[in-house]
Amino acid sequence: MVSLTTDKNDPDLVDTAEPVLRPDRNIALELVRATEAAAIRAVPFIGRGDKEGADGAAVDAMRAFLGTVSVDGTIVIGEGEKDHAPMLFNGERVGNGSGPQCDIAVDPIDGTSLTAAGRNNALSVIAVSDHGTMLDASTVFYMDKLVTGPAGVGVVDIRLPISENIRRLAKALGKPVDEMVVSVLHRPRHEKLIDEIRAAGAGTRLMSDGDVAGGINAARHNARTDMCVGIGGSPEGIVTACAIKALGGHIQGRLWPRDDDEKQRGVDAGLQFDGHVYEADDLVEGNNTLFVATGVTDGGLVAGVRRDADYVYTESVVLRGASGTLRRISSEHVVSKWL
């Protein structure tokens, strides 16, 4: 079922003179089934050191379930070169074709290394928006990002020194700088950034992987972190933007090409560099977004998959930009149905 009316006071409904099919809340549970399937199929690989095996199992499961969803979807952010995947690649058509056209971003496992090592914060993720609204940054692997909650809107700016952003956000939040906590991927490229955060008086939460969860956790109400910064995957930046739309938070990004050849490929694709800042609406236009995630391993956003005798338990979140809601879905699955 999709919205086909013109009541502009209802965020579920379409404000247009002509009936238009748009992705709405009714597909959310169908998307959850896809992320649940991917997370469950990844469980045998948790802590086994085989990140490609985990990702392959999750991709197969997600692709199968996406084929049943009532959308005519195009993968804008997919597995692609990043994971050498034969399915869920950029440009692939997914869904059963009976519903609205939409852009889809997938990451069957955000945190394959986390899964392989048995560490926290691995997620299975899908994000959806209206057709033609997601930035296709697939030609450039990395993006420098700044994410905060609503207090950072109009306050922080990725072009400012990190120390200034920390001071500004601390003032907006009404808390001392020495209570501020900033999430950063633990990478050699961030050594200077980490030193600058600590020199400003704030603390750091170093992430081994999974900057989608890091960004969302920084933007949530009463989160344990106040800001997420640094260079991570460009696809993850687009996915995170879909979630930030629902949380009312702040996100900015600057593409970070690894070499001149990658930059040229980006230029040829119409992307902008040399300090250009992509704002939230540049990453994903409008607020008709859905973000769905199921925990693979335990984390601050959702619990991981848990098996108890003949049952498997999953926890998922659905964030919807049009209504600004975050919903949690706890599911109980009969093991025999998955064998």
pLDDT digits (tens, 9 = 90+) for 37-73: 999 999 999 999 999 999 999 999 999 999 999 899 9
Q: What's the whole-number mean pLDDT along residues 285-310?
A: 94
- Tell me the C-alpha distance between 244 and 290, whole Å: 10
Q: pLDDT value at position 209? A: 86
pTM: 0.88
Collect all residues with Cβ–Cβ distance below 8 Å to 24 and sequence separation of at least 6.
2, 3, 12, 100, 288, 322
Rounded to the nearest 10 degrees, how much is the dihedral formed by the CA atoms of 243, 245, 251, 252?
A: 110
Q: pLDDT value at position 10? A: 43
Q: pLDDT value at position 17? A: 43
DSSP code per residue over 196-249: HHHHTT-EEEEESS-HHHHHHHHHSTT-S-SEEEEEEEHHHHHHHHHHHHHHT-
Is pLDDT above 80 for 221? yes
> How does pLDDT run across 81-104, given as a tens digit for each residue?
444 555 788 888 999 888 889 999
- Tell me the C-alpha distance between 231 and 152, whole Å: 19
Q: Are 239 and 211 in contact (CB under 8 A)?
A: no
HEC readout, 116-172: HHCCCCCEEEEEEEECCCECCCCCCCEEEEEEECHHHCCCCCCCCCHHHHHHHHHHH
> How does pLDDT run across 140-191, given as a tens digit for each residue?
999 999 999 999 999 999 999 999 999 999 999 999 999 999 999 999 999 9
